[in-house]
Structure formats: C-alpha cells, structure tokens
Amino acid sequence: MPECLADFLATTLKGQRPTSEAQAQGSCAYGAVRWQWLDEGVLQLEPEYTGGARSETLKSVLLSAGVHGDETAPIELLSQMVADLAAGRLALACRLLVVLGNVAAMRAATRYEDDDLNRLFGGRHARVPQSREAPRAVVLETAAQRFFADAPVLPGARWHLDMHTAIRASAFEQFALLPYTGDAPSRAMFDWLADARIAAVLIHTEKGATYSSFTADACGALACTLELGKVQPFGQNDLARFAPADAAVRRLVSGAQAAEDEPMPRVFTVIGQITKQSDAFALHVAADVPNFTPFARGTVLAEDGTYRYVVAHDEERIVFPNPTVKPGLRAGLLVVDTTAETLASLS
C-alpha cells in the first residue's frame, strides 16, 4: 500500500508529494477502491466499478479535519480511516473526499498562521490576498466544487462533515453547527447526528464564511461543523471519547445501518449576537465560561459605552464568547432552545 494511504497524516506533514501521475493514483483494498491524490492533504477514494455504470444513488461524502491546524484528534481519526479503507478493513460505499484543511498550521501546531481559515470561505479569502491562508481556502473550495460537480443532485446524496475540537469547555461536550441554508434542517442529517451521539445542534440564521457554510451554499451539501470536545497535541488525544462520532462517520462511509434509538440532539437557534463596539467593551461573563451556559431574562451580558446586551428571552445561552476580537466584530453568539419546533419541522 502506498505510504500516503498507510499514513496520510504523516506523509502530509512531511510534505511528501507524488512525483509522477502514476504515483498519484491507483487501486487499493484488494482492488475494491480507486484512490487519487489530488493535492496536499486532499485525497479522493471511490469504489472501483467493474463495467457497470456508477449508481446514481451513491452518496458523495466530504470529510474534513484540521481546518484549524491544532485540532488534532479528528485529523488522526481521518488518517486512520483512510488506512482502514485502503487495507480493506472498512468497506467504501460512497465517493469520498478526505481533506486535511490547514496543513501549514498543522505542521506549526497552531490554529492558523495569518487568518482563521474557517472565516475565509465563500470568497472571503479575496479580501486578504496576502494571508498565508488565502490560497488554501481557494484550494479547498475548488476541491469541494470539483468533487460535488460529479455527484447526483438527489436529496441526501451530498454530505460534508467538517470535524473540529473546541477551544473551551461546553455544557454539551460534543455539538454540531448547521449553516444557514434557507431550508428546514434535514432529517437525514439529524438522524446521523443522533447516531453520532451529538448532544446539541446550533442552527445559524445567517450565512457564514465557514467551510461547511460554503459546501451547503455552493455545493448543495448536507453540511455541518462538528465540535468534538477539547484539543490535545498529536498523539495525546483520548480517541475513545471520539469513538461514537468516529463510528457514525464510518457507518456513513461504509453504508452500514445506523445505531437505533439514539436520542435526537437538543436544538438551539441563534437569536442574537454581542458586538464589540470599541476598546471600552466589557463582557460580564467569565473569560472561560462554557459554551451554552444559560442566562436568565434581564441579565446584562455586555456593555460598551451606551451599548448594552441584555437577555430578552426567558433564557438565552452564550456560545463562543470572545471579548478579544477587534471592534466591530462578534464577541459572542446567543441562542435559544428550539428543540420541539425544529424536530417537528425536519424535511
């Protein structure tokens, strides 16, 4: 088996590239899988076809990790999954694009070099052409568009799971962020999230600049960002904590049955944000407050001159609070529980 399949992570970190067309593709899993190295950290795997036309119902699945370079555990899981697929230990029942996002930042064991890559999608990279992350955003957008261009447009045929680990603690250790699409969330995605034992889902109400927002918007994918718990350096992750999500990803890829009777996640919808107005900004919550911490109506969460953020619902929960952003930017999101109505409206 070529080294880029046996250890996709290590060869990517070493910057090993195929030196010829013949070295960049081939057959693995005893001839059952066709693989192609497309770019640094970008690998495509497809079931090998023996004469027959490709099934129109075959899913196309994009799995990404390392869009933040120091979020190591999902990167290790993806690399291990590539090795298992290539060795025939895991069946491949979909077209699969595996993406290790910010390879330069992975090498430097840092979140990013110049700019947060997960804020540069949907063309935002063009605003920071000097950024070391800008060309990588272009590569990842192009790879996703090429991959999904060959996929059927049927509902549920295109998937993108972008795997992260959170920086801060969370009232729900593992949660998913669904990009705004204008449509009701999909039952297939919620069934998968339940199968992965994701405890909570945050639904965005505005378009974002994340990778999953891009693939939902530009590629028509069922897409989400997964936050799978806290970060450790390479090799120091307790991968057992990620086992339910890893198992569900492997079931999606291999076409296996989902686990039955897993509870649906709680659902929270964004209803507002705290915006930093100036350097006088004061956030009245602890710097390390866990994500999804609830606050009661009337609580003053932030002040900045005449600006105040006061909780207006019976209960609002804060997500991603960050008072150190530049003035004009978001210093925190507020969400409310919409579990009952969202689960009743899945399409």
| Segment interacting with Zn ion, rule: CB under 5 A, options 46-54, 162-170, 201-209, 278-286 | 162-170
- Pick 115 or 316: Cβ nearer Zn ion: 115
Q: Is 164 annotated as a binding residue?
A: yes
Residue whose CB is nearest to Zn ion in the complex, by number? 164
Would you please indicate which residues are annotated as catalytic (active-site) residues?
227
**Closest CB 31 distance from Zn ion, rounded Å:** 37
Near Zn ion by CB under 5 A, which window of 123-131, 161-169, 212-220, 260-268? 161-169
- Supply the minimum distance, in Å, between the C-beta of residue 164 and Zn ion: 3
71 labelled binding-site residue = yes
If the CB atoms of residues 131 and 342 are measured against Zn ion, the closer one turns out to be 131
- Smallest gap from Cβ 71 to Zn ion, in A, equals 5
Residue from 272, 295, 282, 285 nearest 321 by CA:
285
Number of residues that bind Zn ion (CB under 5 A): 3
Is 164 near Zn ion (CB under 5 A)?
Answer: yes
Least distance to Zn ion, CB of residue 153, Å: 29
Q: Which of 35, 43, 59, 68 binds Zn ion (CB under 5 A)?
A: 68
**Is position 95 an interface residue for Zn ion (rule: CB under 5 A)?**
no
From the list 64-72, 121-129, 174-182, 253-261, the region that binds Zn ion by CB under 5 A is: 64-72
* Piece in contact with Zn ion (CB under 5 A), picked from 30-38, 101-109, 156-164, 277-285: 156-164
User: Considering the rule CB under 5 A, would residue 266 count as an interface residue with Zn ion?
Assistant: no
68 is in an annotated binding site: yes
Binding-site residues for Zn(2+) = 68, 71, 164
Point out which residues bind Zn ion (CB under 5 A): 68, 71, 164
Annotated binding site: 68, 71, 164
